[in-house]
Structure 1
C-alpha cells in the first residue's frame, strides 16, 4: 500500500516539474518583448501613456522620406508624421525601414505606424490595416535618355529591369511581364546606383519616384509614366489595432478640411514635381476622385 502511495507521490512531483518547465519556457518567450508573437501592437491609450509614437519611414527616398545633411528626417511623409505627433501630443521616434520590412515592423511591434510611401493592395490589406489614403500613385519606367525605354512590348531578353523588393512593381512585373529578367534590390539607394552605373537597362517603380529621379539627374528620362493600374498611398497600422486606426482616420478627415495635404505638397514636393501635379497626386481627407 505504501509503495502505491509512493509511486503516486512521485507521479505528482514529476507532473509538477513538467508544469514548472513549461512555465519557464513561456516566460522566456514573453521576455523577448513579444517580438516572436505576430501582430504585437500598442493601443492608442498605451501610446499616449508612453509619451511617444514609433513611426516607420524611409530614410533614402527623396522627397517623401529622407535624412538631410543635418541628420534630420524630412519629406512629405515626415511633414505628415510631425503633424500626427503634434495632434496626438506625443514625441515621435522615426524608425528607418526598407520596403520589404514594412509589414514585419508592424507585426513585431517595432513601429506603431508606417508612413513609408505604402501603396494599398489587397494582399497587403490581409497583413496590415490601412487607414484612409492621402496620395495617388502609379508605376513608371525610367531609363537613360540615350537608350530610352518607352514600351515593354519588345524587350530584349538579355536586358534586365531594376526593381525594389517589397514594392508593388515587383509582383506587377512578375505577373504581367514574366519574360523580363528582374534585377532586385532591397533599398532605393542601391536601385538608383544600379541605374546610374548601367547595371540594368531601366528601373520600374512608383511614378512619383522615377519622375523625381529624372528631374534631379540629367540624362535620364521617364519613357513610361503610367504603367499598370492607379493605386493609392496610405498609413498602415498593425492588424487589429483599431484604436490607433480610428484615430488616424479621424485625423486625416479633419486635416482634409484644412487642405493640409496640399500644404504638405507645397512645402515638400513642389520643387520636385512642380505645382501642376498637386491636384493629381494629393488626396484630401481620404476622399479619392
Structure 2
C-alpha cells in the first residue's frame, strides 16, 4: 500500500473512533437525564409519580394497600387535570434524584425540600409547603439543644435528607446513625438505638403526637425551607404545566383543602396557614 493511501486510511479510522467516542459520551449524558415530555405523557395516558410509602401523613400505604396522604391528594389532582391515569412509584429519600434522572418517574412528590444543591440536579416547580427541621427524643431525657451533645451519643438521620446535610455541615462532631427509610429511623428511636432523631419538623411533630413518651424538644432547627414538586432537569414542558397548575389550584384554595383532608387529624387546624403555600406564593 502506498504511503499516501496508508495515511488516509489511518485518518479515516481515527475520525471514526472519535465519532464513536462522541456518540458514546452523548448517550451517557442522555441516559442520565431521561424523561418524557408533557405530550409524551399525555400520549401514553399514564404519569409516573415518585412518592413515599412510609411517611404518614404525607405519603403512605394504608391497610388496604392504597396510597394516601398530602402528597397523594395533590398527585391525584395532577393526574385528573392532565387527563391521565396515575402510577405511584415508592421511593426513598436517597433515590429521588436518581429516579428522575433515569426516567423511572416523571415527577417527584416525596416531601422534596428545595435546596441549591438539589436544584443543580433537578428542576423544581413552585412550592406548595413550608418546612423546617425538628429534633425529637424521649420524654425521660429530652434534647432541647445540640450545643451540649455528649460525644458517645448518636443522632438518627435518614440518608439523602436535608437533615443529614444540615447536621454534617453544622454539627460535624455529632455521630450520625443513618437509615434509608422512615420506618427504620422511627424503629431506631423507639428501640433507643439513638439519642434523638432529627428530621422535617412536620414529621417529628406527627410522631410525637402519635407516640406517647416522646417530645419535640427543638421544633425549628436552622432556616426554614420549602417543599416543591421536582422533574428531570431540562423537562421544561412538564415543569411549565405544573407551575401553571399550582397557580390555578391556589385560586381555589386547593392546598388548604388538601391540608384539611389529610393533615388536620395529625396537626390540628392551627398549623394550616403555617405549613401551606397556596399558588406557589411564599409569604
Q: TM-score, normalised by structure 1?
A: 0.90
CA distance in 2 between counterparts of 1:4 and 1:277 reads 84
Match of residue 84, structure 2, among 65, 90, 96: 90
Match of residue 178, structure 1, among 141, 158, 172: 172
Matches within 5 A, 1:176-255: 176-255=170-249
2:254 aligns with 260
- Per-residue CA distance 1:72-99 (angstroms, 9 max, x = gap): 1000000000000000000111000000
- Per-residue CA distance 1:153-181 (angstroms, 9 max, x = gap): 10111000000011000111111111111
Please identify runs of 4+ aligned residues in structure 1 that moved more than 6 A. none
Extract unaligned runs of 5+ from structure 2: none
Equivalent residue of 2:217, what SS?
strand
Match of residue 264, structure 2, among 259, 262, 270: 270
Q: Is the 8 A contact 1:164 1:191 kept in 2?
A: yes
Q: Is the 8 A contact 1:161 1:180 kept in 2?
A: yes
Match of residue 39, structure 1, among 19, 33, 42: 33
Aligned residues: 282
Extract unaligned runs of 5+ from structure 1: none
State the shift of 1:257 in Å: 0.3
Superposition CA RMSD, Å: 2.4
1:99 aligns with 93
State the shift of 1:255 in Å: 0.3
The answer to whether residue 73 in structure 2 is matched with residue 79 in structure 1 is yes
Q: Which entry has the higher C-alpha Rg, 1 or 2? A: 1
Q: Is the 8 A contact 1:35 1:109 kept in 2?
A: no
Match of residue 43, structure 2, among 28, 40, 49: 49
Q: Is the 8 A contact 1:53 1:112 kept in 2?
A: yes
CA distance in 2 between counterparts of 1:46 and 1:74 reads 27
2:131 aligns with 137
Change (3 A) 1:105 1:42: same
